[in-house]
Amino acid sequence: MTVLAVHGLKKVYPSPGQPVCVLNNVEFELHSGDRVAILGPSGSGKSTLLNIIGGLDQPTEGRVSVDGQVVSEMDETALSRYRNRTVGFVFQDHHLLPQCTVLENVLVPCLASGAPEREEIEWALALLERVGLKDRIWHRPGELSGGERQRVALARALIRRPALVLADEPTGNLDRTTGEHVAQLLVELHQEQNNILIVVTHSEHLAAMIGKRCRLENGQLTWENT
């Protein structure tokens, strides 16, 4: 059972005039199996919150801990390991390597410390089968549709069996049907893997599919009843 705890999180961006506070005393706690959608207008700090949780950004104040380990206190090596082993990212832009095949793209996180193990390759194949791309493993991103690329990105996020899956507008670049399909997949995979899923989105529709939702406005996180 993984516990993600966010305490007194504050993020202020320096600005030529007044500093901009995008997160102000954000607090919440999630456990394995939880999934939550964070809604909010552009610039409300949704992605910032996700980046801080994922170890891509540092808070101005407060802390994020996963199973008691404070992310902001980790050194560079520990942080890389955290991102590699604990977190799975899904970005709005799929960020696939065009020079690599679908399978290789999924396995990219495994190159962080050597070459992929046989089990990891099997798991990648299983994930690709699960996202419906079993027949496309030798294809390159340029030969895939937008939805397919995002499904590859989804598989890549899960390759290390992360305890935490962070998706930043995962359907933002997709049409409604494809988006729904990807969102459905995201939810199903979350259910199968029992991790914590946090999805940042503008889309009420996607948020509805996720279930639990909260809203980030003026730096404050407000939980909504669903």
Partner 1 sequence: MDPKRRVFSIGKLVRATLWYFCWPFIGVVLAVAVTTAVLVGALVLGDSLRHSLRHQAIDRLGAVDDALFPAGFLRQDCTRDWQEKTHVYSQIVPVIRVSASLENPSGNGDRTARANGVQIIGCPPAFWTLGHVKPTRQPQGREIVLNEKTAELLHAKVGDRIVVWLPVLHGIPAESSLGRRADVVKPSAAVVVDIVTNENLGAFQLAGSQEIPRNAYVDLAWIAEEIGQPGGANVVLFSRKAEFLHDTGKALAEVAQLSISPEDYGLHVTRTRRGYLFLTTERLIFDPATEKAVTERVKDLKFQRVFIYLAERVTCPNGEAWYATVAAVPLVSDSPFGPFLDTADRPVTTPAEDECVLNEWMAQRLKVKPGEQITLTYFAPETDGGDIRRETAVLKVKAIVRLQGAAADPELVPEVRGLTDKKTIADWDPPFPFDPSRVTREDEEYWAQYRATPKIFVSPEFAEEHWASRYGKTTGIRVLPTNGLDEESLRARLTLSVGELGWQLQPVREQALNASQGTTPFDVLFLAFNLFVVVASLLLTGLLFVLNVEKRANQLGLVRAVGWPRTRVLFWLLGESSVLTVVGTLGGVLLGVGYAKLLTQALHTIWLPALGVPFLHLAVTPFAIILGIVLGIACSLLVTVVMTQRFVRFTPQVLLMGTWASEGMGGTKSGREYGRAIGILVAVIALVGAILLAGLGFGSDERTQAGAFFGSGALMLFGLWQILVLWFRGWLRMKAVVRRITGLAARNLGRNPTRSALSTILMGLAVFLVISVSSFHLDVSDRGPDFTSGDGGFWLVGESDHPIFSDLNSVAVRRSLGLSDADLVEWKNVRIYALRRRAGEDASCLNLYRTREPIVLGIDDDVIARGGFRFTSVMKSAENRADSNPWELLKRPPVIDAEGVVHVPAIVDDATAKYAFQKWRGVGENFEMVLPTGKRVAFQFVGLLDNSIFQGRILIWERTFRELFPDVAGYRYFLIEIRSSDDVRPLDKTLVTKVQQFLEKNFAAEGLQLVSTREKLRALYAVQNTYLSTFQSLGGLGLLLGTIGLGAVVFRGVVERQTEIALLRAVGFSANRVHLLVLVENMIVLLLGLGIGVISSLLAVAPQLLSGRGHVPWQAAITVGALMLLIGFATGHVAGRWIARQQPAMGLRRE
Give bridge partners of residue 12 from the DSSP assignment.
21
CA distance 93 to 186: 16
Measured distance between the N- and C-terminal CA atoms of the chain, rounded to whole angstroms: 24
Q: Does 187 participate in binding partner 1 (rule CB under 8 A)?
A: no
H/E element, 39: strand 35-39
Check binding of 81 to partner 1 (CB under 8 A): yes
Q: Is 107 in the site for partner 1 (CB under 8 A)?
A: yes
Residue nearer to partner 1 on the CB measure, 99 or 184: 99
The residue from 7, 63, 85, 139 that contacts partner 1 (CB under 8 A) is: 85
Task: Measure Cα distances from 128 to 84, 131, 155, 197, 199 in Å.
Answer: 19, 5, 6, 19, 21
Q: Which of residues 15-74 bind partner 1 (CB under 8 A)?
A: 16, 51, 54, 56-57
Beta bridge mates, 220 = 217
Cα 166 from Cα 47, distance rounded (Å): 10
Letters for 153-172 (x = contact with partner 1 by CB under 8 A, - = none) are: ---x---x------------
Q: Among 34-42, 121-129, 185-193, 205-213, which window interacts with partner 1 (CB under 8 A)?
A: 121-129
Is 191 a residue that touches partner 1 (CB under 8 A)? no
Q: Any residues with CB less than 8 A from the CB of 176 and at least 6 apart, and which?
A: 205
Q: Indicate which single residue of 29, 67, 93, 217 sits in contact with partner 1 (rule: CB under 8 A).
A: 93
Q: Sign of torsion, CA 202 181 196 77?
A: negative
CB of 158: closest distance to partner 1 in angstroms?
11
Can residue 110 be called a binding residue for partner 1 (CB under 8 A)?
A: yes
Of the two residues 81 and 130, which places its CB atom closer to partner 1 in the complex? 81
- Contact status: 118 vs partner 1 (CB under 8 A): yes
